[in-house]
Chains A and B, each alone.
Chain A
Amino acid sequence: AQTVTQSQPEMSVQEAETVTLSCTYDTSENNYYLFWYKQPPSRQMILVIRQEAYKQQNATENRFSVNFQKAAKSFSLKISDSQLGDTAMYFCAFMKWGKTQGGSEKLVFGKGTKLTVNP
């Protein structure tokens, strides 16, 4: 079974600064996706970024980038130039990837990190 651990329950950052959220995971799978989802107080879970395990290059999406260390099973999210709208719960999630062969590919989530961006 896969597990995802987010060791920082809460973090805060000043507007325009950079913050890094940590995530570690445990799996025996070789092919998988890792995700960061954002859940603002409005509660809609929004995809921030996706990393395919077979890709060595770290994923980036505008101000968001990841540091994916496959051997260490670490997947951190860096938010640059933090904005007030980045205030939210951030969840790290794992999904096995491969031919489903009739089975399900579920997301396994960490407990989340509450990020507050201060003006």
Chain B
Amino acid sequence: DAGVTQSPTHLIKTRGQQVTLRCSPISGHKSVSWYQQVLGQGPQFIFQYYEKEERGRGNFPDRFSARQFPNYSSELNVNALLLGDSALYLCASSFETGGYQETQYFGPGTRLLVL
């Protein structure tokens, strides 16, 4: 079975530009979460989506937005990029049953460098 997939693997942008990152969850998983991992730190929660609706948002500015599609894939958008947005962006998917969320499984990440 295919795991969580993310594209692109690497991305270089300049300050002020906009970027879109993509994620496809494990088949059968309807929940997708996004995390930002800066060098030397643990991942920080950005968003969680379930059944196309935003379930939760971390402490990130409005420049960060996301959406989930009918096939449960997801996009993370970041506008007006800053140097500090350089990080590894991780997508995780999970199964939910009876209202209980299960273990999150991660994709390989997208490395974003802002120059």
Binding site for B on A (CB under 8 A): 4, 33, 35, 37, 42-47, 50, 91, 93, 95, 97-112
Contact = CB atoms under 8 A, between A and B. Distances in A.
Nearest to B41: A111
Contacts of B43: 45, 91, 107, 109
Interface residues of B, number: 30
A37 B98 CA distance: 25
A109 B44 CA distance: 7
Interface of B: 33, 35, 40-45, 48, 50, 55-58, 88, 90, 92, 96, 98-101, 103-109, 111
A110 B111 CA distance: 20
A43 B108 contact: yes
Chain A contact residues: helix, strand, loop or mixed: loop
Nearest to B106: A45
Nearest to A111: B42
A46 B105 CA distance: 7
Contacts of A95: 101, 104
Contacts of A91: 42-43
10 contacts: A44-B106, A45-B109, A95-B104, A99-B98, A99-B100, A100-B50, A104-B48, A106-B45, A106-B56, A109-B44
Given A99-B99, A104-B48, A47 B42 contact: no
Given A50-B103, A107-B33, 11 more contacts: A45-B90, A91-B42, A98-B100, A100-B99, A104-B48, A106-B48, A106-B58, A107-B45, A108-B45, A110-B42, A111-B41
